[in-house]
Structure 1
Amino acid sequence: MKTVALAIFPCVQSLDVAGPLDVFAEANTFVGPEDGYEITLVGADRAPVRASNGLRLSADVAFAEAADAYDLLLVAGGPALPTQGCDPRLTAWLRATAPRCPRYGSICTGAFALGHAGLLDDRAVTTHWSDAQRLAEQFPRARVEYDRIHIRDGALVTSAGVTAGIDLGLALVHEDHGPEVALAVAKRLVVVAQRQGGQSQFSPLLTAPSKPHSPIDGVHAHVIANLRGAHRVEDLAAVAGMSARTFARAFKLETRRTPAEFVEGARIDAARNRLEAADLPLKVVAYDCGFRNAEHMRLVFVRRLGLTPSDYRARFRAPS
């Protein structure tokens, strides 16, 4: 029997708790009692806590009562963790217990709790796409992978947001019991055993420049309004009123991407909007968004999103 501890706290994301635990509970129906998972919720105390959606949860044991080690230790996420910090009692428990566990990690923004405990240094990690940049800024020694659904680096396992905890749980069941059991659990939960693509299929590739009304902001608007243009660095530099070298350096500093990466991201986001909203032929979408042709758009989608334009439309097309 593998022991699993999952840390909870006030305003925890309830799906971060229920998702992976349902995976382990379902796995118990397919393996013998000696090979299953014994699940323990751990909290600051045993008093009920209110999840972010209002659901009441109670820990089985308090941090002070918990075992010295578990086969797997996880901490769930919560919407306040990226901005409001972490309960010092949770931080102390993670710092003391996680290094004794063969596997430990987080679901969603639970990665911030691990970071406060010093457990992300020099490790590849992921979290919810909307908080990945903040995680990288708060814990600069962590190697944040922005597009991963889940990732393992040694004993550390981390996942993207919310339902990605199910993906992480399935990956761990696959690791423990093989692909047949993981697939059987996925079928019971009516999810895919391994989803295509990364987080970028759910998140916008572009964010507004950090300085509104700056020359870089003007270039941003120019590209969005003229997706069919060639947008060479020299041309974009002229829009910004800079030399090409100064522009390329300033653009990378302000947006954390090269001009070419930005232009490609703008075209992908525009194409995604069209694929979600209408049944336009792929060659029309490609032309409207500045790709050379439909095949070029397909290659860029696969490289950046991990799935084709047709697959993207099938997943995200708005109902008529």
Structure 2
Amino acid sequence: MKRVAIVLYPDFLLLDMAGPVEVFSIANRYLEPAHGYEVFTLGVDPGLVRASCGVRIQADGCLDKVDTPLDILLVPGGPGAYNGRHPGLINWLRHAAPAAGRYGSICTGAFILGHAGLLDDHQVTTHWHYTERLIKAFPKACVATDQIYVHDRRLITSGGVTAGIDLALSIVAQDHGRKVALDVAKVLLVVMRRQGGQAQFSPLVATVATQESPITAVQHYVLEHLEEPLCVEQLAALAAMSVRHFSRVFARQVQMTPLAFIQNARIDRARSLLESTDLPFKTVAYKSGFGSVRQMRELFSARLGRTPVQYRHQFN
């Protein structure tokens, strides 16, 4: 039997804990007791632990009382992961995680692992809204921005909230084969592997900085004139720069080329229209600045891993 410990701390996200717990619990229905999962929670201190939603959970034990090594050690995310300070937990993880068979995080739990030095020289992921913050906080980690979950040697990390279910299903598939994991997924009414990554949920264009500069002025112009033909030469002229210099400065400040910014902005506009309206695809393509429905479909498939039809179906 594999021992699975999930660490709790103040302001953890309840679903980050509950999702994996249910996966392992349901997997036990299909496994011989000797090959199943013994799941328990660990608190930093004795007593109730308050989740970010207000629910209080009584942990099964405390960090200093658990017998190590563990087979699987997971840290859920939540506001407490990136806003709180947990020196006791971090110090414990520095010793317990390397000794565990596998260890990892759900959602923003990656920040706690990062503070323990456990992300360095590993490929990792987290919720799309926090990937940039994770990159800046832990530059020695290789952060994948579009993965639902990532396995890198013994380290396992996942995107936000429900991605903890995907992560746990992948563990069950590793341990007991795809058939058992698929049976668990059917009980939970989820798919074994989602089509597309986190990009289908995250905006491709970040909020434009408020401070005025030639580059931010161009960004605002693009967002306000998406229905019009746009080219790099035109944007460089707006910034009063040569095309070569403009392209170099834009890429450095925005972290993407001018053409990629235009395409991503158009995809974001189309996504918004597909989510909130019943406009025909031809109209959505026109209002988003695509030359045709075919062009919109090709860019959608390349960037989001799904067509506009599939995208609309997912959100309506």
Same fold, TM-score > 0.5, yes or no: yes
State the 4+ residue runs in structure 1 displaced beyond 4 angstroms.
none
Deviations 1:160-202 (A, max 9, x none): 0111101111111111111221111111112222111111111
The two structures have a TM-score, normalised by structure 1, of 0.95
Letter in 2 for 1:254: Q
Tell me which residue corresponds to 2:18. Answer: 18
Q: Within the alignment, does 1:144 sit opposite 2:143 as a pair? A: yes
Return the offset for 1:229.
3.5
CA distance in 1, matches of 2:185, 2:211: 45
Q: Which structure 2 segments of 5+ residues have no match?
A: none
Cα pair 2:10 2:80 within 8 Å, conserved: no
Q: Within the alignment, does 1:79 sit opposite 2:79 as a pair? A: yes
Deviations 1:216-269 (A, max 9, x none): 221112111222344222211111222222222221222111111111110100
Paired-residue identity, %: 51
Aligned to 1:184, the other structure's residue is in SS state helix
Cα pair 1:209 1:254 within 8 Å, conserved: no
Tell me which residue corresponds to 2:59. Answer: 59
Tell me which residue corresponds to 1:272. Answer: 271
CA distance in 2, matches of 1:85, 1:233: 44
Tell me which residue corresponds to 2:203. Answer: 204
Aligned to 2:74, the other structure's residue is in SS state strand
Aligned to 2:150, the other structure's residue is in SS state strand
Q: Within the alignment, does 1:6 sit opposite 2:6 as a pair? A: yes
Tell me which residue corresponds to 1:133. Answer: 132
Deviations 1:258-296 (A, max 9, x none): 111111110100000111122222222222212232222
CA distance in 1, matches of 2:44, 2:33: 29
Cα pair 2:297 2:308 within 8 Å, conserved: yes
Deviations 1:116-150 (A, max 9, x none): 00011111100011111000000001111111111
Tell me which residue corresponds to 1:106. Answer: 105
Cα pair 2:9 2:80 within 8 Å, conserved: no
Aligned to 1:29, the other structure's residue is in SS state helix
CA distance in 1, matches of 2:258, 2:265: 10
Letter in 1 for 2:280: P
User: How many matched pairs?
Assistant: 316
CA distance in 2, matches of 1:53, 1:76: 14
Tell me which residue corresponds to 1:217. Answer: 216
Aligned to 1:284, the other structure's residue is in SS state helix
Tell me which residue corresponds to 2:310. Answer: 311
Q: Within the alignment, does 1:172 sit opposite 2:182 as a pair? A: no
Return the offset for 1:85.
4.4
Tell me which residue corresponds to 2:225. Answer: 226
CA distance in 2, matches of 1:67, 1:277: 52
CA distance in 2, matches of 1:202, 1:73: 28
Q: Within the alignment, does 1:262 sit opposite 2:261 as a pair? A: yes
Cα pair 1:210 1:255 within 8 Å, conserved: no
Return the offset for 1:211.
4.7
Tell me which residue corresponds to 1:299. Answer: 298
Report the RMSD for the aligned CA atoms in angstroms.
1.3
Letter in 1 for 2:302: R
Q: Which structure 1 segments of 5+ residues have no match?
A: none
CA distance in 2, matches of 1:21, 1:244: 54
Identify which range, 41-50 or 244-253, moves more after superposition.
244-253
CA distance in 1, matches of 2:69, 2:140: 26
Letter in 2 for 1:236: L
The two structures have a TM-score, normalised by structure 2, of 0.96
CA distance in 2, matches of 1:230, 1:80: 46
Letter in 2 for 1:35: H
CA distance in 1, matches of 2:114, 2:167: 19
Return the offset for 1:115.
0.3
Cα pair 1:124 1:153 within 8 Å, conserved: yes
Tell me which residue corresponds to 1:38. Answer: 38
CA distance in 2, matches of 1:260, 1:102: 45
Letter in 1 for 2:43: G
CA distance in 2, matches of 1:117, 1:101: 15
Return the offset for 1:112.
0.3
CA distance in 2, matches of 1:53, 1:79: 10
